[in-house]
Amino acid sequence: MRTSARYGSALALLAVACGSEPAPTPASSSTSTSTSSASSSGTAASSSGDVDSSESSGGDPLPCNGAPQLCTRPYDTVVFPGTHNTHAATEAGFTPLAANQTHPLATQLDDGIRVLLLDVVADGDALALCHGPCDLGSIPHLDALSEIDAFVASNPREVVTIIYQDDAEQADVVADLEAAGLVDRMYAHGGGAWPTLGELIDAGTTLVVTAERGGSPPAWYHHVWDEAWDTGYQWTSIAEFDCEPNRGSPDHALFLLNHWVSTAVGLSNESAAEQANALDTLLARVEACPRLPTFIAVDFYDQGDLFEAVASLNGLP
């Protein structure tokens, strides 16, 4: 696919606004192999470095989400790779009927996924992550939060976002987040411009939490459709993909690109994932949209070229 001048110009303007040299335009598409152990920049996540410093002890610039170039970019101008129904993975015990991923949450974070779409429900006396009936697969909410906490603690230069489909009481979700010890890591957006990744990292607030139904207070529990807009998501073929607004206002700063193919009865379609997540398909879909997405959520992220596409859209080599 030939990259449009629109995105080259957008990246150049972004670089000027961030006080850096213009980033390279997204690479032209070509057939490539799947990229699985990568961060949002297409490189492995860094688990070291002083969060209060922009340079390593050797004088080299420290990365933000895998790349030094992203440190000066506002959160809402970075493209982050995400997974639809992050928790619903066959390796986590979900039946294929309810699964949208193969690898579990912790593996996804290690591989470079930075946006987690989680369905939280009340399951007896506790909260759980399910997709449909919990009999088809279930993960205790607190267990998932423990894995997220372990990752962000070990990777202080990685910004992670949660988007909850919250079919549970907000007070219970918030109580779990507090019990997991994550509150000190939360960023609270009070309106206006979003901080850069470097600012989030230096402040130690590398976890952004949003929810489809709930919202603040607390200030760090954002109603996602007050901050973002998204596309539709009920496509049964790649040819049906479009960028028509679905929820939220296109005037909002954040943009969630839902990018997966389902079967005619609404189940995940793993056989379509490799082509849906191919570099050419992803870049063509984004080029048809009015702006770069903030989040790209896919099924079966380990198939296709999600990380390569995100790196290209971020203007990274």
Residue-wise pLDDT tens digits, 11-49: 333 333 334 333 333 333 333 333 334 444 443 343 333
Q: What is the CA radius of gyration of the chain?
A: 18
- Specify the DSSP element, H or E, that contains 254: strand 254-259
Query: What's the confidence (pLDDT) of residue 45?
Result: 40
pTM: 0.84
Mean pLDDT across the chain: 87
Range of the domain at 242: 5-313
| 170 CB burial (10 A radius; 0-12, 13-18, 19+) | middle
The total domain count for the chain is: 1
Separation of alpha carbons 279 and 307, rounded Å: 9
* 3-state secondary structure (DSSP) of residue 43: coil
pLDDT above 50 for 278: yes
Give residue 55's pLDDT band: very low, low, confident or very high (50, 70, 90): low
Give pLDDT tens digits for 212-261.
Answer: 999 999 999 999 999 999 999 999 999 999 999 999 999 999 999 999 99
Q: Is 268 helix (H, G, I), strand (E, B) or coil?
A: strand
- What local confidence, expressed as pLDDT, does residue 212 receive? 98
Instruction: Residue 125: give its domain's CATH number.
Output: 3.20.20.190
